Amino acid sequence: MAGLPKPEELISKVNLKKMPSKKWMDTLPVEFKPGFYCYGAKGKNLEYVEFPNARDWSPTDPDWKLPEDWKKIVIEGIKQRLERFRTFHVFMDICVRCGACADKCHFFIGTGDPKNMPVLRAELLRSVYRKYFTVGGKLFGRNGGARDLDLDVLKELWYYFYQCTECRRCSLFCPYGIDTAEITIIGRELMNLLGLNTDWISGPVANCYRTGNHLGIEPHTMKSTLEFMCNDIEEITGIKIEPPINRKGAEILFVTPSGDLFADPGIYNAMGYMMLFHEIGLDYTWSTFASEGGNFGFFTSLEMAKRLHTKIYEEAKRLKVKWILGGECGHMWRVWHQYHNTWYGPVDFLEEPVSPITGTKFENAKSNKIVHISEFTADLIRHGVLKFDKSRNDNLIVTFHDSCNTSRGMGLFEEPRYIIKNVCNHFYDMPDETIREQTFCCGGGSGLNAGEIMELRMRGGFPRANAVRYVREKFGVNMLANICAIDRATLPPLMDYWVPGVRVTGVTELVANAMIMKGEKERTMNLRMEPLPGKEEQ
């Protein structure tokens, strides 16, 4: 029996020394455990969009089937990006490793894995940069914080760049303004050069390139889906809506993520959009070509992101609309706000958006000509255009999750809250350090909402869920509202695990439920076909 360890020896390092016994560079190789990494891409999906090194691969395969000169490709890739992106070059050089970002990442907070500290995640790549691009790194090697790029290092880079949701919470706290998300973006571009994509990202990218949306919905399917929704709307409200599709000369092109067309609870939001537009008589159109607001190409390379984004731009031109209205989505807005103008310059064939209902000129959208549905709806409410029966939402005690991209990417804080307060009687914000610009990620952004990494999503989403739990215990919150399709996909299981009893909704669903429509019958059901408060027995 003497050979058996004591339990504490078995489970705990019990090293109470203050200094780590191993340096971070000495902790290779990375172990790929189920639940911690996404599945590798399928060759056919990479080939479809002409991505390099197209082949089926799996991260657990000892042989990643890399090109012979893979190391040269990565180093050349770093060089090109240092020359092309001033930010990347600066970010590689200026970090003083103060650690202000270290404990701000939801993955670090949830895992305690030091390589999830933004500073160390970036250092994984910085150490390679130093080795090949700085005098200090070349001269002093490891003592200068530099290391060779070998296969174990490559695997480590891949593993941790796919454990970052590019949420940018860390960048908020960096005294130098280093945006670690941009380092992840470049890191993933480098992986893309070797065909090291994930299935969950490359599948939607190939689909989007083929059909215009991530889910591969073809035009006739999109049309019938919208019609199915309109049948449900008719059953609930008595109002028949004909969805306008691919209509040339419409004033506005409406674009939303395809998750709103097929996934629960996004579909209720899509029904909400159509009810809202019908009620105000908006001259708009859906497009079966620009049928995706989201852009998974953004998680592979900027060129691919631009390729996928082009369809919205071209479709607006083809349909001769005046401006674009965008639905509730996260990274779609990051792309529009922070990349669109670099790619295309100010859009010259569209007009500066003006609400045809209220006359409000959206000056913030002067350059890229796209208005967020929350800005648009908040403006309608502000002008008293819409009538609401807030009591229809009285069974809901609502809190609001700021999506990373719309909050830190474009500063959209007030509009969704203003809308919710106008359509619901019970609204409570989560604690200050977990909302608005300091919001915690859902744990599944930037293409990390794959089913196979449920464990990673649960621990990455724990800080968010923990704050929801607080308002649930304090105020009885039972509904988590948001304005992002990825949130609507990832938050339901997150709530189910950490805060059972809290459901998830888009903001427009709440609007549509409370909105009194002209000519509607007495409503007894909400959009989910559940009885409204007080109508349970009818």
Partner 1 sequence: MPINDLLSKKRQSIINKSFELTIATYPEESQTFLREKSTQFTNPVGYTIYHAIEQIIDKIISNEPIENFILPLEEIIRIRAVQDFTPSQAVGFIFLIKKALQDELEKDFESSQILDFLSRVDSLALVAFDIFMKYREKIYDLKSKELIDRTWWILKKYNIVSEISDKTVETNKKF
Binding of residue 454 to partner 1 (CB under 8 A) = yes
Of 150, 242, 264, 351, the one binding partner 1 by CB under 8 A: 264
Of 1, 2, 3, 12, the one binding partner 1 by CB under 8 A: 12
Binding of residue 14 to partner 1 (CB under 8 A) = yes
CB contact at 8 A, 451 and 458 = no
Give the H/E segment covering residue 284.
strand 284-285
Each residue of 457-474: b (16+ CB within 10 Å) or e?
bbbbbbbbbbbbbbbbee
DSSP β-ladder status, 252-255 and 323-326: parallel
Minimum Å gap between C-beta 505 and partner 1 is 14
Give the H/E segment covering residue 378.
helix 373-382
Q: Which stretch binds partner 1 (CB under 8 A): 89-97, 294-302, 463-471, 473-481?
A: 463-471
Backbone φ and ψ for 329, nearest 5 degrees, come out as -145, 160
CB contact at 8 A, 311 and 344 = no
Q: Which two tokens stand for residue 97?
A: 């490793």
Minimum Å gap between C-beta 304 and partner 1 is 24
Binding of residue 171 to partner 1 (CB under 8 A) = no
Minimum Å gap between C-beta 457 and partner 1 is 9
Nearer to partner 1, 262 or 289 (CB): 262
Nearer to partner 1, 46 or 467 (CB): 467
Minimum Å gap between C-beta 74 and partner 1 is 27
Please, which of residues 358-377 interact with partner 1 by CB under 8 A? none
Q: Beta-carbon neighbour count of residue 73 at 10 Å?
A: 17
Q: Which two tokens stand for residue 339?
A: 């990349």
Q: Mask of contacts with partner 1, 211-250, x by CB under 8 A?
A: --------------x--x----------------------
Of 187, 257, 326, 493, the one binding partner 1 by CB under 8 A: 493
Nearer to partner 1, 6 or 86 (CB): 6
Nearer to partner 1, 236 or 267 (CB): 267
CB contact at 8 A, 393 and 513 = yes
Binding of residue 459 to partner 1 (CB under 8 A) = yes
| 26 Cα distance to chain centroid | 33
Q: Which stretch binds partner 1 (CB under 8 A): 109-117, 320-328, 407-415, 472-480?
A: 109-117
Helix (H, G, I), strand (E, B) or coil at 400: strand
The CA distance from 339 to 23, in Å, is 38
Binding of residue 473 to partner 1 (CB under 8 A) = no
Binding of residue 34 to partner 1 (CB under 8 A) = no
Of 69, 150, 235, 455, the one binding partner 1 by CB under 8 A: 455
Minimum Å gap between C-beta 117 and partner 1 is 8
Binding of residue 458 to partner 1 (CB under 8 A) = yes
Backbone φ and ψ for 315, nearest 5 degrees, come out as -70, -35
Between CA 527 and CA 475, with CA 422 as vertex, the angle to 5 degrees is: 85
First to last CA, the chain: 70
Strand residue runs (E) in 97-190: none
Nearer to partner 1, 353 or 447 (CB): 447
Of 109, 274, 282, 365, the one binding partner 1 by CB under 8 A: 109
The CA distance from 19 to 14, in Å, is 13
Q: Which two tokens stand for residue 221?
A: 């399917």
103 Cβ contact list (under 8 Å, min separation 6)? 109, 117
| 469 Cα distance to chain centroid | 22
Binding of residue 498 to partner 1 (CB under 8 A) = yes
Identify the residue whose tokens are 């490891």: 142
Binding of residue 451 to partner 1 (CB under 8 A) = yes
Of 25, 90, 172, 263, the one binding partner 1 by CB under 8 A: 263
Q: Which stretch binds partner 1 (CB under 8 A): 11-19, 136-144, 341-349, 418-426?
A: 11-19
Of 10, 26, 175, 248, the one binding partner 1 by CB under 8 A: 10
Binding of residue 24 to partner 1 (CB under 8 A) = yes
CB contact at 8 A, 31 and 37 = no
Binding of residue 478 to partner 1 (CB under 8 A) = no
Nearer to partner 1, 196 or 270 (CB): 270
Backbone φ and ψ for 358, nearest 5 degrees, come out as -110, -15
Binding of residue 114 to partner 1 (CB under 8 A) = yes
Binding of residue 8 to partner 1 (CB under 8 A) = yes
Q: Which amino acid is at 470?
A: Y
Binding of residue 428 to partner 1 (CB under 8 A) = no
Q: Which stretch binds partner 1 (CB under 8 A): 121-129, 191-199, 259-267, 506-514?
A: 259-267
Binding of residue 297 to partner 1 (CB under 8 A) = no
Q: Which amino acid is at 144?
A: G
Q: Which stretch binds partner 1 (CB under 8 A): 12-20, 278-286, 328-336, 358-366?
A: 12-20
Binding of residue 431 to partner 1 (CB under 8 A) = yes
| 36 Cα distance to chain centroid | 19
Q: Which stretch binds partner 1 (CB under 8 A): 1-9, 51-59, 237-245, 369-377?
A: 1-9
Nearer to partner 1, 115 or 130 (CB): 115
Identify the residue whose tokens are 């790929």: 32
Q: Beta-carbon neighbour count of residue 47 at 10 Å?
A: 14
Identify the residue whose tokens are 């949701």: 165
**Class of residue 135 by CB neighbours under 10 A (exposed 0-12, middle 13-18, buried 19+):** exposed
The CA distance from 53 to 190, in Å, is 12
Binding of residue 112 to partner 1 (CB under 8 A) = yes
Residues of this chain that interact with partner 1 (CB under 8 A) are 6-8, 10-17, 19-22, 24, 33, 35-36, 102-103, 108-114, 117, 225, 228, 262-264, 267, 431, 433-434, 451-452, 454-456, 458-459, 462-463, 466-467, 470, 489, 492-493, 496-498
